[in-house]
C-alpha cells in the first residue's frame, strides 16, 4: 500500500514535467500566429509565423 502512495504522485509529477515545455512554448505567441510549415526544413525558421 505504501508503494502506491509514492508512485501515484510521482506519475502525476512526471506527467506535468512532460507537458510543461509544450505549454511554455505557447506563452509568447499571439492568437494570430500560426504554425510554420517550414520549421522542419530549415534550421533558422521559427516555430510560429505571424499572419500579419
Domains of the chain, by residue range, sit at 2-49
Q: Residue 45: its pLDDT value, please?
A: 86
Closest to 37 (Cα-Cα) out of 29, 47, 23, 28:
47
> Checking DSSP bridges between strand 48-49 and strand 34-35, what pairing results, if any?
antiparallel
Question: What contacts 33, CB < 8 A, 6 or more positions away?
Answer: 48, 49, 50, 51
Q: Cα–Cα distance between 21 and 19 in angstroms, integer?
A: 6
Q: Are 38 and 45 in contact (CB under 8 A)?
A: yes
Instruction: For the chain, list residues with pLDDT below 70.
Output: 1-4, 52
Amino acid at each position: 500500500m505504501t508503494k502506491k502512495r509514492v508512485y501515484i504522485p510521482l506519475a502525476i509529477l512526471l506527467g506535468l514535467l512532460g507537458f510543461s515545455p509544450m505549454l511554455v512554448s505557447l506563452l509568447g505567441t499571439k492568437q494570430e500566429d500560426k504554425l510554420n510549415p517550414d520549421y522542419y526544413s530549415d534550421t533558422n525558421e521559427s516555430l510560429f509565423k505571424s499572419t500579419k
